[in-house]
Amino acid sequence: MRDMNNPTTSTRRQRSGICIVGNGAVAKAAALGFAQAGQSVTLLTPAASAPPPASGNWDVRVYALNHTAYHLLSALKVWGALDAARVAPVDAMQVFGDGGQPGGLNFDAYGAHTGTLAWIVEDSNLNQALDAALRFASNVTMVAGKAVELRCDADSASVRLADGSAIDAELVIGADGAESWVRGQCDIGMDYRSYGQRAIVTNFHCERPHHGVAHQWFTGEEGIVALLPLPGDMVSLVWSAPDMLAESLADKPASVLAERLSQYAHDKLGKLTPVQPELVRAFPLRLMRPHSMVANRVALVGDAAHVVHPLAGHGMNLGFGDVADLVRIVSEREAHRGIGDERVLARYARARKEDVLLMQLATDGLERLFGIGFEPVRVARNLGLNLLDKLPVLKRRLISHALGKL
């Protein structure tokens, strides 16, 4: 991997087959994927990045990676570089309705005919493994700087930086998150909906063993509570709480948050004790649907291409699915077509359409359904969960889609 951050090279005009804009896990996976496929890659990252959590601390930002993510990261030689002691397999999932109604929906790895449903991985663990792999990628150039202009024509694209330098490429990939600069430069329209919720995240020790089971409660007025298994006796909280409740929860000590959770978790996990009492974070939740995942010589991946509600934990998995399909489609193009050929990019957009749309409809639909407080609707949706749990064929199809490519 070459580093272009040296001041003596800051005014150079860098040429690559592909320029990737972004600094998250999806951007790094895309850089590795295209490098592995033989393409020259420039990864443009912000000039300054947030420092990783202190060594030994547990990151409150975690992902439930499915089999699509596992296969991509394994192919990139990244999965084996993860700190395995900090990765927790999810062997089962229990989903509970609201209003004190009995029953719910249960998934397990045995019923899905797989070794595990998903893996809970910290953001820092994932990014450290990706960074380590990038250090050995010979045809990836790292450039730190601020992009100020994107120009695309029939033959190439050019990203101009604030210091006057530029990156020329056949294809620009926007992997720069929900507020994507690349998407904005392409004037791609977007449907936007704020959920009026924030995700409250932190970690707890649990009194009783979690046995690799992820728990999720649709609570109605208090939002959606998920407790995901971490190694040992720990669980990770993702509470999609209405804004007013989230503001109240975020302002209180984690011990108060633990007490509030006891009404849901005590029977399953016993008493919850904060791992790092001072470490509670909140993230705004919204639905973002850009009208296109591609433009002239541009492809969007990850949150730049779609933002979904985290109730299913599939935002990162969709991003890794984008990367896997884009690398595959570009690699399989006809010899006479270039990397940024409009037909090649159109194939990518078609390949991702169904997977992304299904996840958007499922997460948005569930959030809307369980946000209705009308009692007959509450009863009906809980009965629906119970009925789905007793329909093995339909449940297997649902599990198969959630797991990704096995």
Phi then psi for residue 186, to 5 deg, are -90, 0
The confidence score (pLDDT) of residue 389 equals 47
Predicted confidence at residue 77, as pLDDT, reads 96
18-32 pLDDT per residue, tens? 999 999 999 999 999
Would the CATH topology of 2-52+126-191+287-365 be identical to that of 62-122+195-285+372-403?
no
CATH architecture, domain defined by 62-122+195-285+372-403? 2-Layer Sandwich (3.30)
What pLDDT score was predicted for residue 371?
A: 55
Q: H or E element: which one contains 43?
A: strand 41-45
> Residue 402 pLDDT > 70, yes or no?
no
pLDDT at residue 4 in the model: 47
Q: What is the DSSP letter of 307?
A: B
Domain ranges of the chain: 2-52+126-191+287-365, 62-122+195-285+372-403
Residue with the larger pLDDT of the pair 386 and 8 = 386
Average pLDDT score over the chain: 86
- Assign 365 a pLDDT band (cuts: 50, 70, 90): low
Average pLDDT over residues 84-99: 87
Look at residue 126 in the predicted model and tell me its pLDDT: 97
pLDDT higher than threshold 60 for residue 2 = no
CATH match of 2-52+126-191+287-365 with 3.30.9.10: no
- Mode of pairing for the β-strands spanning 166-174 and 13-21: parallel
Residue 171, sorted as left (phi over 0), alpha (psi -120 to 50) or beta, turns out to be beta
pLDDT in tens, 127-181: 999 999 999 998 999 999 999 999 999 889 999 999 999 999 999 999 999 999 9
Question: Who has greater pLDDT, 49 or 160?
Answer: 160
Rounded CA separation 333/339 (Å): 8
* Single pTM value for the model: 0.88
**Residue 95: both structure tokens together:** 């989903």
Mean pLDDT for 373-391 is: 48
Residue 3 has pLDDT above 70, yes or no: no
d(CA 404, CA 392): 18
Percentage of the chain with pLDDT > 90? Answer: 65
pLDDT single digits (tens) 304-329: 999 998 876 678 999 999 999 999 99
Exposure letters 282-311 (e unless 16+ CB within 10 A, then b): beebebbbbebbbbebbbbbbbbbbbbbbb
CA distances from 350 to 99, 148, 241, 343, 354 (A): 41, 30, 34, 11, 8
Q: Which of 135-139, 216-220, 261-265 has the lowest mean pLDDT?
A: 216-220
Structure tokens at 96: 């509970």
Using 50, 70 and 90 to split pLDDT, how confident is the model at 384? low
What pLDDT, on the 0 to 100 scale, is given for residue 375?
47
Q: Name residues whose C-beta falls within 8 Å of residue 116's C-beta, 6 or more positions apart in sequence.
A: 89, 90, 91, 109, 212
